[in-house]
């Protein structure tokens, strides 16, 4: 089924129709078989995923919306994410398993995030990505709607040094409700992200990826800080951004130390 969907998409715009029909069939409740479970994930991974939800709210990246996922540690074609609830309320019992078509394993009637296709399609396109955050963090929104490029103004956001593209959903699908609510939209977003660490979504938010959940969370927190600081700097005058070579070196220096803020953020978030 996933193969068929993918082939249709690759064949070009005309071939999108079968995909659209399939999506309609899903909406009206056609019973597609649930994928079998890849087996239990490492409990530490689930624990980190729950902590990530709480941290991202505590740090002002997520509110009642947005989501974070991790790739299954034993099955690269599966990922783990909460059922559709506010991130601050997520517990281990809320975590569901999905395949890369973002079809749920054993859904048991639980509601699912409409935009889960962001996760499935990026995991499919990027074997190096093991965790993904989708957020509507307020300070990043202006950079998606003005043409002002989001660029690193300090070393903690050096991971932005390779540039942050903007996903224009109108280019992919014309007039929409701005939600990435199916596989083709998720694939278009993954294509705009390319090999980079983050992508802005015009009029909506952003997606941040990482090689671990700690990276994805820390990058999300520092993306928000950088956006706020960059807007302040731009209001003051000409901004000197990190040189791409400085960004490369600073990212190498900083990214191995994210465990330090993670432990702090986790203690604070879980004590509330």
Task: Tell me the catalytic residues.
Answer: 115
φ/ψ region of 66 (left if φ > 0, alpha if ψ in -120 to 50, else beta) reads: left
Q: Is the Cβ–Cβ distance between 163 and 239 less than 8 Å?
A: no
Degrees, nearest 5: CA angle 245-251-257? 155
């Amino acid at each position: 089924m996933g193969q068929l969907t993918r082939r249709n998409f690759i064949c070009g715009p005309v071939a999108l129709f079968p995909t659209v029909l399939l999506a309609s069939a899903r909406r009206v409740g056609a019973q597609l078989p649930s994928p079998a479970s890849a087996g239990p994930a490492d409990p530490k991974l689930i624990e980190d995923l729950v902590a990530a939800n709480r941290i991202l709210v505590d740090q002002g990246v997520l509110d009642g919306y947005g989501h974070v996922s991790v790739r299954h540690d034993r099955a690269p074609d599966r990922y783990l994410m909460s059922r559709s609830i506010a991130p601050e309320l997520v517990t281990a019992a809320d975590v569901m398993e999905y395949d890369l078509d973002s079809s749920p394993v054993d859904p048991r009637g639980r509601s699912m995030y409409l935009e889960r296709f962001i996760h499935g399609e990026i995991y499919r396109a990027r074997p190096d990505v093991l965790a993904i955050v989708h957020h509507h963090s307020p300070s990043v929104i202006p950079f998606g709607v003005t043409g002002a490029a989001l660029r690193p103004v300090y070393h903690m956001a050096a991971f932005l040094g390779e540039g942050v593209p903007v996903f224009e959903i109108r280019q992919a699908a014309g007039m929409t409700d701005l939600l990435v609510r199916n596989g083709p939209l998720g694939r278009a977003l993954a294509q705009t992200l390319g090999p980079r660490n983050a992508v802005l979504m015009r009029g909506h938010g952003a997606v941040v990826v990482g090689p671990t959940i700690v990276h994805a969370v820390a990058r999300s927190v520092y993306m928000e800080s950088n956006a706020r600081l960059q807007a302040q700097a731009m209001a003051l005058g000409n901004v000197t951004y990190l040189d791409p070579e400085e960004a490369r070196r600073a990212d190498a220096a900083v990214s191995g130390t994210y465990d330090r803020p993670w432990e702090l953020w986790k203690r604070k978030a879980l004590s509330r």
